[in-house]
């Protein structure tokens, strides 16, 4: 396999739940450090890395609304939860000696930078890891949509969706032993088969802007590096 990376700039989408590891709530320091090391290997291979993180390990607007909180307020709480996760990722990355910048879609200047596209691109060009926080900054959206939006804005070559399974299956592999993994799918197939990969807004944005997506298992060390080096047998490619 070639050691020249196959991608110049990637966007990694991490759900809030992915940060919990085996915890019921919050952020696992083991997961954080593993993640930071994975990002480091990819960055050292010469790939520019941007991250979009979710907030589902802390708050989701939909869940809060079920408990009676106004939906928009709940979504704002969800977006603020992503800022906390982003700060934790920045901290883990900087602890191992890389530079990272959190950029938020909601202005919260004492804590992190505002999202300014040109500045984000400059950070990436300088080898800094950019962690996009607060989703799109708007209620009723998800951080999957934010990932597709930011990937489009920064002209990422690939979106990576980190999950706990090694790709997209015909059915839930934990429930159905017959479930088969797809190695490749088109965006239209994802939509027509109603596969729960990312929400439809995100899928449409990636499809319309021709940004490929690879779903992979973040708990398996070294997968991220293999993908950026051009491996085609890791996870599922959607394009
Ligand atoms: N959210 C939002 N607008 C956005 C992105 C996120 O309002 O553009 C809120 C929404 O309430 C969502 C929460 O933030 O439930 C956390 O994001 P998400 O559910 O996407 O996190 P994940 O499932 O990836 O952990």
Helix-, strand-, coil-residue percentages of the chain, each rounded to 5: 40, 20, 45
Residue 43 to residue 185: CA distance in whole angstroms: 27
Instruction: Give residue 202's pLDDT.
Output: 97
Instruction: Give residue 173's pLDDT.
Output: 85
pLDDT digits (tens, 9 = 90+) for 197-212: 999 999 999 999 999 9
For ligand 1, whether the C-beta of 90 sits within 6 Å is: no
For ligand 1, whether the C-beta of 75 sits within 6 Å is: yes
Residue 126 to residue 22: CA distance in whole angstroms: 35
CATH T-level fold of 9-238 = Carbamate kinase (3.40.1160)
Is the per-residue pLDDT at 1 higher than 70? no
Residue 215 Cα to ligand 1 middle (Å): 19
Residue 214 to residue 236: CA distance in whole angstroms: 5
Residue 135 Cα to ligand 1 middle (Å): 6
DSSP assignment letter at 144: H
Please identify, by atom number, the ligand 1 atom nearest to the C-alpha of residue 105.
Answer: 8
pLDDT digits (tens, 9 = 90+) for 12-51: 999 999 999 989 889 999 999 999 999 999 999 999 999 9
pLDDT digits (tens, 9 = 90+) for 78-131: 999 999 999 999 999 999 999 999 999 999 999 999 999 999 999 999 999 999
For ligand 1, whether the C-beta of 146 sits within 6 Å is: yes
12 near 2, Cβ under 8 Å?
Answer: no
Q: Which residues are annotated as a binding site for ATP?
A: 13-16, 56, 60, 163, 169, 172
Residue 234 Cα to ligand 1 middle (Å): 27
The pair phi, psi for residue 59, each rounded to 5°, is -140, 145
Instruction: Give residue 2's pLDDT.
Output: 53
Q: How far apart are the first and last CA of the chain?
A: 22
pTM: 0.96
Residue 46 Cα to ligand 1 middle (Å): 30
Residue 191 Cα to ligand 1 middle (Å): 21
Mean pLDDT, residues 4-9 taken together: 93
Smallest CA-to-CA distance from 19 within 79, 68, 87, 98 is with 87
C-alpha dist (Å) from residue 36 to 19, 85, 144, 149: 12, 13, 21, 23
Predicted-complex ipTM score: 0.99
For ligand 1, whether the C-beta of 143 sits within 6 Å is: yes
The pair phi, psi for residue 111, each rounded to 5°, is -105, -40
């Amino acid at each position: 396999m070639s050691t020249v990376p196959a991608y110049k700039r990637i966007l990694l989408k991490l759900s809030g739940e992915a940060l919990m590891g085996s915890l019921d709530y919050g952020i696992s320091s083991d997961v954080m450090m593993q993640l930071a090391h994975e990002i480091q290997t990819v960055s050292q291979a010469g790939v520019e890395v941007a991250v979009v993180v979710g907030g589902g390990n802390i708050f989701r607007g939909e869940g809060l609304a079920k408990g009676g909180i106004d939906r928009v307020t709940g979504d704002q709480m969800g977006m603020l939860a992503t800022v906390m996760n982003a700060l934790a990722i920045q901290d883990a990355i900087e602890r191992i000696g890389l530079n990272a910048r959190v950029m938020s879609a909601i202005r919260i200047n004492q804590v992190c930078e505002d999202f300014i596209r040109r500045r984000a691109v400059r950070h990436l060009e300088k080898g800094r890891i950019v962690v996009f926080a607060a989703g799109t900054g708007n209620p009723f959206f998800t951080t999957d949509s934010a990932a597709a939006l930011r990937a489009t804005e920064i002209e990422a070559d690939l979106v990576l969706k980190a999950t706990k399974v090694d790709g997209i299956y015909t059915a839930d592999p934990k429930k159905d032993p017959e479930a088969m993994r797809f190695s490749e799918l088109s965006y239209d197939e994802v939509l027509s088969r109603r596969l729960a990969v990312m929400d439809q807004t995100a899928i449409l944005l990636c499809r319309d802007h021709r940004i490929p997506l690879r779903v992979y298992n973040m708990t398996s060390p070294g997968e991220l590096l293999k993908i950026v080096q051009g491996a085609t047998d890791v996870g599922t490619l959607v394009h």
